[in-house]
Amino acid sequence: MREASGNERTRTSIWLATVTMAPSTRRVKRPDVPDRFVWLYGNPKMRDGCYEYHPAVQSHIEEAYLNDKDKCMINFHGEKRTLSFDSMSDSSGSDKRQIKRVHSTKLHMSKCKGISGASYVSTKGYQQTDEKCNICFHKQMVPTRIPACGHSFCYTCIKTNFKKRLPCPMCRGDLPISLFVNPIRYDVDFDVECPEEFAEDCSAMFKKPDNEEVGESSSKRKESKLRHYWIYEARGFWYRYDPKHEKYLEEHFLRNKPSCTLFICGIKMQVDFKKHTQKGDEWNAARERKIKRIAASDMHKFKIRGIAGVSFLVQPIS
């Protein structure tokens, strides 16, 4: 057998070194992960599916837990609920559900359905970026997206179309009934104000009071500098009126009008400020409802769920 020459041995050594040597590496520092926890509740048990608690109460629950308190309370869609850290449960009367504390990095393992009883907002398909409602042509109040086409409108505006059996105004697509059956959201601001343009148009509808009424009207307007909400009762709970409807009621109230007519989701309603009621006219006998004008600071005295029939309000209770 022929002995390898010196050049062949050199080439073989270089080849072996190339194959066996690992590439040079450097240690990369792992970024710090914030030590954040998320509170979940079962439906009613974790194995039945779970939801994140609303962001408005996450810090309230976590603070009570870290301070070694036995329990804490929250207002959840008009109900007072007690969270017990001993039994890791959330209860209101006989209604009881499991709760759990998980690290934010492991949230994906919990298979959560959404937040506060509502499914996560979909990021698939067409996403409307314009805030204008193409039914009333004002900024959307309680923006409601149609899943199939992605177009978005005020909740009461698109519900009017649904009640009249009309399709999506933009693409003529069907409106799913699921949008209007016990609607629950987590991405709505309760303190949203009436669009400025609508407020100006609404005020311009009324004539200025004559000299005899100036004193009383001015007095009421002075009182109205405090933030007030108009709310109506429904099934033992209360909802704030759509801010556009609320502005219309407020303008009548400040001018000492005994009543007014209001169209809500296509239904003609008579509002009586003396009896504090709202009901349909003789051609549309909708159920009579109680109404109230309350100061924003008195919200906690009422079981308020949300706006215009949409439940979303969740608040901590001290």
Which residue segment(s) compose the domain that 243 sits in? 196-317
Question: For position 138, which CATH number holds?
Answer: 3.30.40.10
Residues, the chain = 318
Neighbours of 148 (CB within 10 A): 14
Residues 136 and 226 in one domain: no
Burial class (CB in 10 A: 0-12, 13-18, 19+), 308: buried
Single-letter amino acid code for the residue at 30: R
Phi, psi of 190 (to 5 degrees): -65, -30
Question: For position 268, which CATH number holds?
Answer: 3.30.720.50
Spatial distance between the Cα atoms of 232 and 302, rounded to a whole number of angstroms: 11
Start-to-end CA distance of the chain, whole Å, equals 93
Number of domains present in the structure of the chain: 3
Run of H or E residues at 20: helix 6-20
Residues 200 and 311 in one domain: yes
Does residue 185 lie in a domain region?
no
Residues 80 and 150 in one domain: no
| Under 8 Å between Cβ of 238 and 302 | yes
Residues 104 and 140 in one domain: no
> Model-level pTM?
0.82
Residues 223 and 172 in one domain: no
Q: What is the pLDDT along the chain (318 residues), one digit of tens a residue?
A: 555 565 665 565 555 555 555 455 555 454 554 579 999 999 888 888 999 999 999 999 999 999 999 999 999 999 999 999 999 999 999 999 999 999 999 998 888 999 999 999 888 899 999 999 999 999 999 999 999 999 999 999 999 999 999 999 999 999 999 999 999 999 999 999 999 999 999 988 886 655 445 445 444 554 557 899 999 999 899 999 999 999 999 999 999 999 999 999 988 999 999 999 999 876 666 678 999 999 999 999 999 999 999 999 999 998
Residues 265 and 280 in one domain: yes
Does residue 7 lie in a domain region?
no
Spatial distance between the Cα atoms of 247 and 13, rounded to a whole number of angstroms: 87
| Under 8 Å between Cβ of 311 and 183 | yes
3-state helix, strand, coil in the chain (%, to 5): 30, 30, 45
- As beta bridge partners, residue 93 has none
